[in-house]
């Protein structure tokens, strides 16, 4: 019997042998039942045999279980010398990155961040910005009109109106968001990102504007010395209006933003007295600035959602 137990390889076989010995109809069970017919010595021997046999079964069970455990451990062993599978790590989209940089810079200058609705009414997108119905300047932008007369916001200038209406003056804010125009080529996307800066207080001048713009560009493009060129321009909501160019690497002039002193009519439309308060405003495409910063030729790549492009461009 001892050898028989020791040679058993599986728990199932061990269990069935155990049942045949100790089960209800087992051999040992039968012998124990008849113990009363035995003399004392024989009883003691049977008891000892019973105890020993149970012990043997227990030991063999532990051995088999241990062998199974070892076998499983061997199979599950990790080979730590294998090369790891490369992790697919995401990054922030370059526009998101540049947007947070721009916001951080303007906030450090004391500008407060604002957003507004992309579906805008005529008042905020045009009329309050000194561009009433039939004003020729409405043609400066190819607008998406809705049937109810609302528009897809063509400029974040609409946000400066909302900010002044809500908070009054003095105010120093910037509005960010998507803007929409019917145009599409390498430097225009029908949806693009704009940023609008506004500072209205007593005695604000054009030189305050130029100082902030210069500091902003120098921080964003990480250039110590930013050379600017100011050209006269026209926007209905500023007077005088200017276009600001910046000298790029290699001496090339790049147009970076439109700006000017807030038109008195715009202040009046927001309930502000232009005889007491003056201000400046500036507006630019933040995707344009990001294009320059990252050296891209086609603005549409930002919006294609092509992960391979994003990865290859190394953002
Ligand atoms: N809203 C103008 C545009 O979309 C940009 C702009 C120009 C904003 C001059 C301004 C500004 O605040 O003063 O073309």
Average the pLDDT over each of 39-43, 110-114, 138-142 and give the range with the smallest value.
Answer: 138-142
pLDDT score, position 199: 98
| The model's pTM | 0.73
Please give the pLDDT value at position 315. 66
Least confident of 69-78, 156-165, 254-263: 69-78
pLDDT, mean of residues 178-207: 94
Ligand 1 pocket, 157 CB below 6 A? Answer: yes
Whether 284 lines ligand 1, by a CB cut-off of 6 Å, is no
Q: What is the pLDDT of residue 87?
A: 83
Share of the chain above pLDDT 70, in %: 99
Residue 313 has pLDDT above 80, yes or no: no
Atom of ligand 1 nearest to the CA of 259: 13
Query: In which band, very low, low, confident or very high, does the pLDDT at 201 lie, cut at 50, 70 and 90?
Result: very high
Whether the CB of 282 sits within 6 Å of ligand 1:
yes
Nearest CA to ligand 1 atom 13: 259
Q: Which atom of ligand 1 is nearest to the CA of 198?
A: 12
Across the range 173-201, mean pLDDT stands at 94
* pLDDT tier, 213 (very low <50, low <70, confident <90, very high otherwise): very high
Ligand 1: residue of 111, 152, 154, 157 to mutate (most ligand atoms within 8 A of CB) is 157
User: Atom 2 of ligand 1 has which residue's CA nearest to it?
Assistant: 283
Q: What is the SS3 string spanning the chain?
A: CHHHHHHCCCHHHHHHHHHHHHCCCCHHHHHHHCHHHCCHHHHHHHHHHHHHHHHHHHHHHHHHHHHHHHHHHHHCCCCCCCCCCCCCCCCCCHHHHHHHHHHHHHHHCCCEEECCCCEECHHHHCHHHCCCCCCHHHHHCCCCECCCCCEECCCCHHHHHHHHHHHCCCEEEEEEEEEECCCCECCECCEEEEEEEEEEECCCCHHHHHHHHHHHHHHHCCCCCCCEEEEEECCCCEEEEEEEEEECHHHCEEEEEEEEEECHHHHHHCCCCCCCCEEEEEEEEHHHHHHHHHCCCCHHHHHCCCHHHHHHCCC
């Amino acid at each position: 019997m001892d050898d028989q137990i020791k040679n058993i390889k599986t728990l199932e076989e061990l269990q069935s042998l155990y049942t045949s010995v100790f089960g209800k109809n087992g051999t040992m069970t039968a012998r124990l039942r008849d113990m009363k017919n035995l003399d004392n010595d024989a009883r003691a021997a049977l008891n000892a045999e019973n105890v020993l046999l149970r012990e043997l079964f227990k030991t063999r069970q532990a051995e088999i279980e241990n062998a199974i455990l070892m076998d499983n451990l061997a199979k599950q062993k990790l080979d730590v010398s294998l090369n790891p599978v490369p992790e697919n790590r995401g990054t922030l989209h370059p526009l998101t990155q540049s947007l947070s940089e721009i916001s951080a810079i303007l906030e450090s200058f004391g500008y407060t961040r604002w957003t507004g609705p992309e579906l805008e009414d005529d008042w905020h997108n045009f009329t309050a910005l000194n561009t009433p119905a039939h004003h020729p300047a409405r043609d400066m932008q190819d607008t998406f009109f809705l049937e109810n007369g609302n528009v897809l916001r063509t400029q974040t200038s609409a946000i400066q109106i909302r900010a002044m209406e809500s908070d009054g003056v003095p105010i120093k804010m910037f509005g960010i968001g998507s803007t929409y125009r019917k145009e599409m080529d390498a430097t225009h996307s029908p949806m693009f990102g704009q940023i609008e800066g506004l500072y209205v207080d007593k005695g604000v001048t054009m030189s305050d504007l130029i100082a902030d713009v210069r500091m902003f560009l120098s921080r964003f493009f990480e250039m110590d010395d930013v050379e600017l060129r100011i050209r006269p321009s026209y926007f209905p909501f500023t007077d005088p209006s200017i276009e600001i160019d910046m000298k790029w690497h290699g001496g090339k002039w790049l147009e970076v933003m439109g700006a000017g002193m807030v038109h008195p009519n715009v202040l009046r439309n927001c309930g502000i007295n232009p005889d007491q308060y003056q201000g400046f405003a500036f507006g630019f495409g933040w995707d344009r600035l990001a294009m320059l910063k990252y050296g891209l030729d086609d603005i549409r790549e930002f919006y294609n959602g092509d992960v391979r492009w994003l990865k290859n461009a190394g953002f």
